[in-house]
Structure 1
Amino acid sequence: MGLLERCKAEFGTADLYEVLGVRREASDGEIRRGYHKVSLKVHPDRVDEAGQEEATRQFQILGQVYAVLSDAEKRAVYNEQGTVDEEADALRQEQDWSAYWRLLFKKITVEDIRSFEEKYVGSEEELADIKQAYVDFGGDMDRILESVLFAEPATEPRIRAVIQGAIEAGELQPYSAFLREPRRKAVGRKRRAQEEAKEAEKSRKELGLGDEPDDLKALIQSRQKDREKEMDSFLAQMESKYCNSSKKGKKKTDKKGKK
């Protein structure tokens, strides 16, 4: 069974881009982050013994998908013909994908996250990321807030001000999705944020946790199954940004690719 058939069997789609949850025109950076987000969910180390076999199988397939889409030549062939080199794919099945994954994504700590947040929020890097997210998602604030690190409904006014200023300065196109967003969408974001805050506080009280790094780590772990999608998305962005050993060089390439 070839890679596309295995993707269909395991993920319900033979489209490699859909498997990673990215756009067909995604930049190299988006593809890498998409791979990281999805692979975090099925990493064999993160499931119980009963799910090990399925997780290992899906994890290997994701590695193969990323190997195709991260290679300019293989991606071009796939885009044009809708096929992959099955001979090379067969050889890749024997690769140690766990070792490969760890080479791409180093582990981070809660302290790393806090330190990075202090440097990132309000920086030129955040400003560029906000503008890029606005362009990538056509002004959709839901997706912008999901994409930008540390963005949440409470910080939306500041992010909106950044975007509005860039629009007025002629740096960004005035998308109607941003300028004429239905009120119900903003209300929905606020409601979800309030519900999530209540969940977090409830879990913290139940576990008797405080605000120390170890307590925060324990809280994240305790809520991992219920909040897996949210936490994986956040940590994936953090690790791909903060722990990439060649971050600066790749970031320039990624942003050029997005323009």
Structure 2
Amino acid sequence: MGLLDQCQELFKTANLYEVLGITKEATEAEIRRSYYKVSLKVHPDRAPDDPQATEKFQVLGKLYAVLSDKEQRAVYDEQGVVDEESDSLSQDRCWEDYWRLLFPRITKQDIIDFEKQYRSSDEERKDLLQLYVKHQGDMDVILTCVLCGSQEDEPRLADIIWAAIKNGEVEEFPAFAQESGKKKRARRKRADRERKEAEEMQKEMGLGQEDDSLMTMIKQRHASREQNFNSFLSDLEAKYSKKGGKSSKRAKK
């Protein structure tokens, strides 16, 4: 069974872009990020209850091998075909090793280095303003979603938003401009409570300040953001990991 037939059987569509939830116009970075997120959901270690997890994971690896190769992608876009005999689609290839080559494990130091690079960067400003517009100025939600942020960062982030409002870059939403002092105090109290809960959890687990557990560090810094944990790592891994190999043959469906 060919790749396109496998996609139809396992993902209910033979369109490679639809499997990843993206469009034909997606950039290389968007394809990479989407591949990571979709493959993470069906990774055999993370989806033990899915009897088709291993097969789905392998098919996604083949799919990415096609779309990440400029020549193969061009042929697929123009003719709707892929090369089933190319080295990149070899049946003997270990797709788990391929995936890990593309997305090496993120370490504690990687997170620390990323935070240093990200804070006060143009990228942080862009992301912050997008969140501001998306959530119409609700700082409770914005501070929950912003990367590498904490309650201590609120004044700095608020200044960035105010500057963007003054220069006409974004709209002045009442939820932000007219936020009550009561709501701000409640947010600070909630952050303090979450910080204490994280510290207590650390003590219960017997972990010290220098513990190398990535999960512990993230929970300490983002105690209220476990819903964004996988997304945070996904963006880091998809954005900063190495690129895989190339191949360049083709065949019909």
Asked if the contact 2:58–2:95 (Cα under 8 Å) also holds between the matched residues in 1, the reply is yes
State which of 68, 82, 85 in structure 2 corresponds to 1:85.
Answer: 82
- Partner of 1:87, secondary structure, is coil
Cα deviation, 1:238-259, whole Å, max 9, x if unaligned, reads 123344489xxxxxxxxxxxxx
Which of 49, 58, 79 lines up with 1:60 in the alignment?
58
Aligned partner of 2:35 in structure 1 is 35
Q: Which has the larger radius of gyration?
A: 2
Separation (CA, whole Å) in 2 of partners of 1:23 and 1:145: 30
**Is the 1:64–1:89 Cα contact (8 Å) retained in structure 2?**
no
Preserved CA contact (<8 Å) 1:149 1:238: no
TM-score, normalised relative to structure 2: 0.60
Mapped partners of 2:23, 2:150: distance in 1? 23
Alignment coverage as a number of residue pairs: 224
- Alpha-carbon spacing, 1:99–1:24, altered in 2? closer, same or farther (3 Å): same
Deviations 1:191-225 (A, max 9, x none): xx99x99997897687566665445535879xxxx
Matched, 1:99 2:97: yes
Q: CA deviation at 1:12?
A: 3.3
Aligned counterparts of 2:143 and 2:24: Cα–Cα separation in 1: 21
Q: Please state if 1:140 is matched with 2:137.
A: no
Aligned-partner residue type, residue 84 of structure 1: V
Name whichever structure is richer in helix by fraction: 1
Give RMSD over aligned pairs: 4.8
- Give the conservation status (yes or no) of the 8 Å contact 2:145–2:228: no
Is the contact between residue 143 and residue 149 of structure 2 (CA under 8 Å) also seen in structure 1? yes
Q: Which runs of 5+ in 2 are unaligned?
A: 180-186, 220-224, 245-253
1:18 paired to 2:30: no
State how far apart, in whole Å, the 2-side matches of 1:17 and 1:93 are: 21
Code of the residue aligned with 1:55 in structure 2: it is A
Higher relative contact order (CA 8 A, sep 6+): 2
- Aligned partners of 1:154 and 1:204: how far apart in 2? 21
1:237 aligns with 2:235: yes
Is the Cα contact below 8 Å between 2:202 and 2:216 reproduced in 1?
no
Which sections of structure 1, spanning at least 5 residues, go unmatched?
184-189, 222-226, 247-259
Tell me the secondary structure at the aligned position of residue 63 of structure 2.
Answer: helix
- Compute the TM-score of the two structures, normalised by the length of structure 1: 0.59
- CA deviation map 1:81-105 (0-9, x unaligned): 4x22253469714122222222222
Q: CA deviation at 1:61?
A: 0.8
Render the CA deviation track for 1:115-159: whole Å, top value 9, x for unaligned: 32133111234345667xx4xx9x5349x9999743689968866
Aligned-residue identity in percent: 47
SS at match of 1:65: helix
Corresponding position of 2:111: 113
Question: Amino acid of the residue matched to residue 31 of structure 2?
Answer: I
